[in-house]
Amino acid sequence: MDLKRLRTFVVVADLGTVSKAALRLRISQSALSRQISDLEYEFGFKLFDRIGRRLFLTTRGEQLLGDCRGVLSQLGSLGERIELLKRGDSGVLKVAASPQTIESVLSTFLPRYAKRFPNVRVKLTEALGMDQVPLLERGEVHFGIRHDQGVNPWFESLVLPSDDVLAAYLPSLQLGCGGMIDIASIAPHPLLLLDSGYSVRRLFDAACRVADVEPNILLESRAPHTLLALAEAGQGVAIIPSVLRTDRYRLRVARVTHRRKPLRDRFVIQWDKRRPMPSYAQNFCAALGAYMRDVLPITRPSSR
């Protein structure tokens, strides 16, 4: 089926005369009449009845007109889609991140990104650091935003500011000095910890082993804000990452240290370098990296 003939059919149906349609399409009247005749021969029925100088759709022609409009509309949409893809600023971008990163970073970054790249749809997957590895390896996400643990030599990373381990507690506890608190002095307090799927928890546990202290664990949770709510209620000290927002809680915040060195882990945007990246993905990575360098850490030690 010749799409040019379908377009001719629609124009003739809209304008009602061969002369006007030929002028619109910039072809001769004889060529236009021949296209309509060829289309009628292909379909096996008449499309128009001639009354005087005007052409009127037959019953079958009326029924066919809507379908032809739909085909031409879809063709136009396909052409626009192809042009967008050729420009490299259109597509779906799949990103994996932890819940606190989505809440504290991506929730404010994505509206800004959408204004610059309105034809890119960002699809988020909630996944903790180690859970992102198979997603990246299988190509189910383009990027993972996580702590760098060097688990795969095929991964490339854009390095971001470090994520500090913080202690959040009621001001009445009078813990720490100069915005820092040593892990040995905090370990005896009732501790509200994230579960072992979080990098901040694994880092805290490793520091406890190095410092040879036994943490007094009151609660382990996968929900960071549960820990903050309990800390605000005076139930213990919440151990959290600095990427987590704490501004809704009346808590004092201090960096957790060991021998006066902050416990921190490198934050990265990571991808599998074996997989080619569309240009809009590269733009996203650069824009997000710049934004995260500006806003991290989300939570800083309290000033006294």
Q: Are residues 236 and 281 in the same domain?
A: no
In terms of Cβ atoms closer than 10 Å to its own Cβ (0-12, 13-18, 19+), residue 176 is: buried
Whole-angstrom Cα Rg for the chain: 32
In terms of Cβ atoms closer than 10 Å to its own Cβ (0-12, 13-18, 19+), residue 255 is: buried
**Residue the block writes with tokens 């050729």:** 86
Q: Are residues 176 and 238 in the same domain?
A: yes
SS3 289: helix
Domain membership of residue 235 (yes or no) is yes
Q: Of the candidates 35, 67, 86, which is a domain's last residue?
A: 86
Per-residue pLDDT for the chain (304 aa), expressed as one digit of tens each?
A: 677 888 888 888 888 888 888 888 888 988 888 988 888 888 889 888 888 778 888 888 888 888 888 787 777 656 545 554 555 567 889 999 999 999 999 999 999 999 988 888 999 999 988 889 889 888 889 999 998 776 678 898 999 989 999 999 999 988 888 889 999 999 999 999 999 888 899 999 999 999 999 999 999 999 999 999 999 999 999 999 999 999 999 999 999 999 989 999 888 999 988 887 777 888 898 899 999 999 999 999 987 6
Q: Are residues 45 and 75 in the same domain?
A: yes
Do 287 and 116 touch, CB atoms closer than 8 A? Answer: yes
For residue 106, the domain's CATH number is: 3.40.190.10
Distant-in-sequence, close-in-space partners of 292: CB < 8 Å, separation ≥ 6: 105, 109, 160, 161, 267, 269
Domain membership of residue 247 (yes or no) is yes
Do 165 and 203 touch, CB atoms closer than 8 A? Answer: yes
Do 6 and 23 touch, CB atoms closer than 8 A? Answer: no
Give the domain extent around 98.
91-160+266-295
Domain membership of residue 304 (yes or no) is no
Question: How many domains does the chain fold into?
Answer: 3
Q: Are residues 180 and 202 in the same domain?
A: yes
User: Residue 279 belongs to what H/E stretch?
Assistant: helix 279-295
**Pairing status of strand 191-194 against strand 217-221:** parallel
- CA-based nearest residue to 244, from 258, 259, 260, 231: 231
Domain membership of residue 301 (yes or no) is no
Q: Are residues 139 and 169 in the same domain?
A: no
